[in-house]
Amino acid sequence: MLLAIPEVLTPAEVAAARAALDAAEWIDGRVTAGEQSAAVKQNAQLAEGSPVAQAVGEMILGGLARSPLFISAALPQRIFPPLFNRYGEGASFGVHVDNAIRAIPGTPIRLRTDLSCTLFFSEPEEYDGGELIIEDVYGPQRVKLPAGHLILYPSTSLHRVTPITRGARVASFFWLQSMIRADDQRALLFDLDQTIQRLALEKDANDPCVVSLSGIYHNLLRQWAEV
């Protein structure tokens, strides 16, 4: 399932984060890439221990926590601390797949990368090129979202970032382990949850159909969840 999550951050949060990111010190982006990815990665990145990365990362986690659409789609169990990259003119990231397991720095915690996330800090008109191309069952999907918006997609997907020909693309990227490992089960639960929410608005949260579907949702979640 590939899904755009709008307005994870407010315009004020985006402006504050962008000011901090633009003033930060950037390093070679290959430091977090695997062997295959490093060979095709050309961008800059904030150091993982950077105070700016930690502060803006906390802002992002706060935005995710208040997004019902994100929670419904991802059903997150663990979220990797957000990382940040910058693509200037000529920078790109060739076709690659994300590592299956990520260790959270400074902790013994490892997570399985079920879903990948990119949150944009540059407006689409600020740069040419720089599209995130995700291989989907319906073919390649080109993604270039407004600042503050996030794209959520399976970490099993091949993806790439096209070369920048003008301006710069600033974004955050990270991964999460979902309570639901299988993408098809997660998509089914998402569709069911969205249907329940629409029915609750049209009818009533205590309507027998809404209550029955809610029971089915939670029973499926109980059966499939890994917690």
pLDDT of residue 166: 98
Q: What is the mean pLDDT of residues 78-85?
A: 97
CB atoms within 10 A of CB 3: 16
202: CATH = 4.10.860
Are residues 197 and 170 part of one domain?
no
pLDDT tens figures, 127-150:
999 999 999 888 999 999 999 999
Are residues 87 and 64 part of one domain?
yes
pLDDT of residue 179: 98
180's CB contacts (< 8 A; 6+ apart) are 75, 114, 186, 189, 221, 224, 225, 226
pLDDT of residue 138: 85
pLDDT of residue 213: 97
Of 178, 193, 214, which marks where a domain is finished?
178
Are residues 108 and 215 part of one domain?
no
Enter the pTM of the model.
0.92
User: Structurally, how many domains does the chain consist of?
Assistant: 2
pLDDT of residue 37: 61
Are residues 117 and 58 part of one domain?
yes
Are residues 196 and 137 part of one domain?
no
Q: Residue 29: pLDDT band by 50, 70, 90 thresholds?
A: confident
78: CATH = 2.60.120.620
Are residues 211 and 160 part of one domain?
no
> What's the mean pLDDT when you consider all of the chain?
94
Q: Taking Cα atoms as reference points, which of 87, 23, 28, 77 lies closest to residue 55?
A: 23
What gap in Å lies between CA 61 and CA 44, rounded to an integer? Answer: 22
pLDDT of residue 90: 95
Are residues 83 and 33 part of one domain?
yes
pLDDT of residue 42: 84
Of 178, 193, 209, which marks where a domain is finished?
178
pLDDT of residue 78: 97
Are residues 199 and 138 part of one domain?
no
Are residues 78 and 129 part of one domain?
yes
CB atoms within 10 A of CB 207: 13
pLDDT of residue 97: 93
Which structural domain range is residue 62 located in? Answer: 3-178
pLDDT tens figures, 94-104:
999 999 999 99
What gap in Å lies between CA 145 and CA 171, rounded to an integer? Answer: 10
Are residues 195 and 173 part of one domain?
no
Q: What is the mean pLDDT of residues 8-15?
A: 98
Q: Taking Cα atoms as reference points, which of 105, 8, 2, 108 lies closest to residue 56?
A: 8
Are residues 34 and 19 part of one domain?
yes
What gap in Å lies between CA 125 and CA 102, rounded to an integer? Answer: 33
Are residues 207 and 152 part of one domain?
no
pLDDT of residue 137: 86
